[in-house]
Amino acid sequence: MTVPKARKQFTVLDGNALQNTLVRKLTHVADAVRDLGTRLGGYEYQVALVRTQWSGGRRNVGTEIVLSATPLLPTPKLISLDGQILTLQAVGLDEVGTVIVRQISPAYTEDELRGLGPQGQPIPPDENFYYEIVLPRPLPEAAVRRRYQLRGTPDYQPTRFGWSVTLLKAGEERDRVTLQPEGD
């Protein structure tokens, strides 16, 4: 009769143990390095999580009012906008396509990146949640803003110290001047 060898004990991480891993402890270092890239001018854009509300009680009814426009900080890495193409629509030319945003700080939660509430509540029927990529210009009112919807689930990549999301180009852009949230 053969006696099986004792198996080596491997690590099983639970929610509490995750906070004590080397990857989690080095998150602030990775974020500081990413911020250095922005300070040096390597990321000449902003990526924001935008939440709006419609005055008519449901989406696309009434006036759209910006509740919040929260920049993702440190600035994540935007994988080229060259995946955008112009297509001819009945109302003129419109951009379509996807863009990938990588190296989003692990300080954000999946719920935040999906636009859900603090306890995972869905987006209310009178609100919109989207990503906005802003290409700043010397005059703020001239900034180029592009609206994107989350396509799929955010992908957490611990060994890359961050999240990755794929965004799908959404229709209309936010008004450059009149729809600024109060306090911005």
Prediction pTM value: 0.80
HEC assignment per residue over 33-47:
HHHHHHHCCCCCCEE
pLDDT given at position 178: 38
| Residue 164 to residue 161: CA distance in whole angstroms | 10
What the block records as the tokens of 31 is 């974020």
Contact 148, 166 (CB under 8 A): no
pLDDT given at position 175: 61
| Residue 9 to residue 7: CA distance in whole angstroms | 6
The answer to whether residue 177 scores a pLDDT higher than 50 is no
Cis peptide bond upstream of 74, omega within 30: yes
The answer to whether residue 57 scores a pLDDT higher than 60 is yes
The answer to whether residue 180 scores a pLDDT higher than 90 is no
pLDDT-based confidence at 95, cuts 50/70/90?
low
* The length of the chain, given as a count of residues: 184
